[in-house]
Amino acid sequence: MTDASALSSRAADPPVPEPVESQAERLRRRRDFLRDLAEAKELRARVQPRRTRLARIRDAVRRSTYRAC
């Protein structure tokens, strides 16, 4: 068999379907992602306290404007 015929026979093979992940696996990956995200936010708050404080103040002002309506 030549290289060209080997390539054409491989191209004719049907695509292999990817395995469907289970609900438990999806929830585990989501839990891990959310945990990592929370850790990153905590680290940012420790490393940049001034920026965090300003963000907290801006958020409080934004909330207060909606309460006044």
Q: Residue 13 carries which DSSP code?
A: S
Rounded to whole angstroms, how far apart are CA atoms 52 and 37? 16
CA atoms of 30 and 21, how far apart (whole Å): 13
Determine the pLDDT at residue 49: 78
pLDDT for residue 8 is more than 70: no
User: What pTM was estimated for this model as a whole?
Assistant: 0.47
Greater confidence (58 vs 66) lies with 58
The CA distance from 14 to 16, in Å, is 6
Please indicate whether residue 13 or residue 39 has the higher confidence score (pLDDT): 39
Q: What is the pLDDT of residues 22-43, one digit of tens each?
A: 999 999 999 999 999 999 999 9
- Which letter does DSSP use for residue 69 in this model? -
